């Protein structure tokens, strides 16, 4: 009898939503007008669905009055806050494509994202942590011909835009003209070619992914979801905001960015039923000095994603945080993002040893290098197909064709196995992506940037094991002839103001010969092994 193929699909009795995000907001607000929709603790915001819809209508009217057309790009560069949520729903209501800009970006990355996507209007925080957003926007604006205006959140221009008198007829007319398959969001993923690629997602992509993820978490209108993960990423804006919207639940935002104590306080004070985070966030919360003082008994579920969860951490999350139904999710920005998920009744070993089973209305398969589906238990590349697959990379048909094949399968670049019950396990990465604390970093992007250093002749970047973040970046450097040796401090100083902090190499190896094949190709696997030896990371490697 032939072995079963590594293929599975997700049958579901729950139909997909055939509506736009704006239409969904109107429907849910009509069904649950007095239920809390959004609580932002650091801003003292507490809005019902009726209040949220009314504020979205004001901002949508302001965008229309400014001449924003369907398909125009509007950027948002800010940490988590009420304004981010308003921008997400208002742009969707008028059909503008929201371009998410990572709050950690510096000028080099900001300018690229705004230029490549052709952002016409940028909504920006004034500053965040050590970043002066206003100054950075001023620095790059001259090289962005499409950018007509940058509005700083909280400034009078923002208050005027967000407080525009509602033009109900104009908003309704625009909303009625939109289609669920219209692109509505661009999210930049670190690129293997040296520059990020703009994954372009539709209403249908992300609204239905939120619906499906929430359904597998068992969400209903009474749920309160604590979201300390960033909105600029699919984890926050889809698995958080849109999962809540699709089920009429409430989003609770503890702080502008993750803070363990603030998150624990929010869960206890708001009686949250669900909590999100990458494993390092849960580790930080469990290790917080005040952990035992918080009543977390309202929790029942949540999502852990971004990187594998150690067994002991998962056990403590279930036992000490009361998250008996916590779910593991796997996916990528290009798939809106979730493709596989563990179920509420899965045993602990499934949640720490697998990435779950295929989600509703989706297909997955594991293929060999020739594209043939391998038997169950064999290693191959994980592919996914269905409603969640992006429209493509923004204005990059060549890269889109490399990622999505003629049959509509998205090739993830991850190596995986599928067992007899359909559970998948990622065993490696076909690409060289490094996952640092849940942030995806492609070494080539960092390498291309390092090449701009006047003293660097060649640079190679690999991931090395780290006990806290899972992986850290290590840059191997060859300096130009006659240049002084570079150390880690010098390289980090060069990167600090122009690359996001998680892309700045923690380690630098200078002057070591690059391990090469006979054909002259750098052997990154040997480079990683040698880095562990040179940097004394054997202990971290043993726990990875």
Q: What is the mean pLDDT of the chain?
A: 93
For residue 140, report the phi and psi dihedrals to the nearest 5 degrees. Answer: -100, -15
Q: How far apart are CA 363 and CA 56, in angstroms?
A: 35
Q: How far apart are CA 204 and CA 180, in angstroms?
A: 5
Q: In 3-state terms, what secondary structure has residue 225? A: strand
What's the pLDDT at 507?
A: 96
Segment among 142-156, 210-224, 306-320, 397-411 with least mean pLDDT = 306-320
The set of residues, in sequence order, having a beta carbon less than 8 Å from that of 133 and lying 6+ positions away, is 77, 78, 124, 125, 126, 127, 152
Average pLDDT over residues 261-266: 98
Q: Contact, 441 vs 500, CB < 8 A?
A: no
What's the pLDDT at 310?
A: 76
For residue 501, report the phi and psi dihedrals to the nearest 5 degrees. Answer: -55, -35
CB burial string 100-125: b at 16+ within 10 A, e below: bbbbbbbeebbbbbbebbbbbbbbbb
Average pLDDT over residues 495-505: 92
Q: How far apart are CA 437 and CA 502, in angstroms?
A: 9
**In 118-183, which residue ranges form alpha helices assigned H by DSSP?**
133-140, 156-162, 168-177
The set of residues, in sequence order, having a beta carbon less than 8 Å from that of 537 and lying 6+ positions away, is 464, 465, 466, 531
Confidence tier at 539 by pLDDT (50, 70, 90) = confident
Pick from 91, 85, 78: nearest CA to 245: 85
Helices 443-450/488-496 angle, 10° precision: 90
Average pLDDT over residues 457-485: 90
Beta bridge partners of 456: 479
H or E element that contains 352:
helix 348-353
Q: How far apart are CA 115 and CA 194, in angstroms?
A: 16
For every residue of 443-473, which 3-state class applies, written as one string? Answer: HHHHHHHHCCCCCEEEEEEEEEEECCCEEEE
Average pLDDT over residues 361-384: 95
Q: Is the link from the previous residue into 337 a cis peptide, with omega within 30 of 0?
A: yes
Confidence tier at 192 by pLDDT (50, 70, 90) = very low
Distance from the first to the final alpha carbon of the chain: 38
Average pLDDT over residues 468-495: 90
Q: What is the reported pTM?
A: 0.85
What's the pLDDT at 544?
A: 58
Q: Which domains does the chain have, with CATH numbers?
A: 21-415 (3.40.50.12780), 434-543 (3.30.300.30)
Q: Contact, 75 vs 470, CB < 8 A?
A: no
Segment among 18-32, 72-86, 405-419, 504-518 with least mean pLDDT = 504-518
Percentage helix, strand, coil, to 5, in the chain?
Answer: 35, 25, 40
Confidence tier at 194 by pLDDT (50, 70, 90) = low
Residue 456 in this model has a pLDDT that exceeds 60 = yes
Residue 429 in this model has a pLDDT that exceeds 70 = no
Segment among 343-357, 416-430, 512-526 with least mean pLDDT = 512-526
Average pLDDT over residues 420-444: 82
Q: How far apart are CA 538 and CA 544, in angstroms?
A: 10
What's the pLDDT at 191?
A: 52
The set of residues, in sequence order, having a beta carbon less than 8 Å from that of 22 and lying 6+ positions away, is 56, 60, 89, 92, 93, 94, 175, 178
Residue 23 in this model has a pLDDT that exceeds 90 = yes
Residue 518 in this model has a pLDDT that exceeds 70 = no
Q: Contact, 291 vs 282, CB < 8 A?
A: no
Residue 327 in this model has a pLDDT that exceeds 90 = yes
Q: Report percent pLDDT > 70 for the chain.
A: 97
């Amino acid at each position: 009898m032939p072995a079963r193929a590594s293929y599975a699909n997700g049958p579901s009795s729950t139909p997909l939503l055939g509506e736009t995000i704006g239409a969904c907001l109107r429907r849910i607000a009509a069904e649950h007008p007095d239920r809390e929709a959004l609580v932002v603790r650091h801003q003292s915001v507490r809005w019902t669905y009726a209040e949220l819809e009314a504020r979205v209508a004001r901002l949508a009217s302001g965008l229309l009055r400014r001449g924003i057309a369907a398909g125009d790009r509007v950027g948002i560069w800010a940490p988590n806050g009420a304004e981010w949520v308003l921008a997400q729903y208002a742009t969707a209501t008028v059909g503008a494509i929201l371009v998410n800009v990572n709050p950690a970006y510096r000028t080099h990355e900001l300018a690229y994202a705004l230029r490549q996507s052709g952002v016409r209007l940028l909504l920006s925080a004034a500053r965040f942590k050590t970043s002066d957003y206003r100054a950075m926007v001023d620095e790059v604006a001259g090289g962005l011909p499409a950018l007509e205006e940058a509005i700083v959140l909280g400034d009078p221009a923002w208050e005027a835009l967000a407080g525009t008198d509602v033009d109900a007829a104009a908003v309704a007319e625009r909303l009625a003209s939109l289609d669920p398959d219209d692109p509505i969001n661009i999210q930049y993923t670190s690129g293997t070619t040296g520059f990020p690629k703009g994954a372009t997602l539709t209403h249908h992509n992300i609204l239905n992914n939120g619906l499906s993820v929430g359904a597998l978490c068992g969400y209903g209108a009474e749920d309160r979801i604590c979201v300390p993960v960033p909105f600029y990423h699919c984890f926050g804006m889809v698995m958080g905001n849109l999962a809540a919207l699709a089920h009429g639940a409430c989003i609770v935002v503890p702080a502008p960015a993750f803070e363990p104590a603030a998150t624990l306080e929010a869960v206890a004070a708001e009686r949250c039923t669900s909590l999100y985070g990458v494993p390092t966030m849960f580790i930080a919360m469990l290790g917080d000095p005040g952990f035992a003082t918080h009543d977390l008994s309202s929790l029942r579920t949540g999502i852990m994603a971004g990187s594998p969860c150690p067994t002991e951490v998962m056990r403590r999350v279930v036992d000490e945080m009361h998250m008996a139904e916590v779910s593991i999710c796997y996916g990528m920005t290009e798939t809106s993002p979730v493709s596989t998920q563990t179920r509420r009744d899965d045993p602990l070993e499934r949640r720490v040893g697998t990435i779950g089973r295929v989600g509703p209305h989706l297909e997955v398969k594991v293929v060999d290098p020739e594209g043939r589906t391998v038997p169950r238990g064999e290693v191959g590349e994980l592919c996914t197909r269905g409603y969640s697959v992006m429209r493509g990379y923004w204005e990059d048909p060549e890269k889109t064709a490399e990622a999505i094949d003629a049959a509509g399968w998205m090739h993830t670049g991850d190596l995986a196995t599928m067992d007899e019950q359909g559970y998948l396990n990622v065993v490696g990465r076909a690409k060289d992506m490094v996952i640092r604390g849940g942030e995806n970093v492609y070494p080539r992007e960092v390498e291309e940037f390092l090449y701009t250093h006047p003293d660097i002749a060649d640079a190679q970047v690999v991931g090395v094991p780290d006990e806290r973040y899972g992986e850290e970046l290590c840059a191997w450097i060859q300096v130009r002839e006659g240049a002084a040796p570079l150390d880690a401090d010098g390289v980090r100083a060069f990167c600090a103001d122009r690359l996001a902090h998680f892309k700045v190499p923690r380690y630098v190896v200078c002057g070591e010969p690059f391990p090469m094949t006979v054909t002259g190709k750098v052997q990154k696997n040997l480079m990683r092994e040698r880095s562990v030896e040179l940097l004394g990371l054997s202990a971290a490697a043993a726990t990875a």
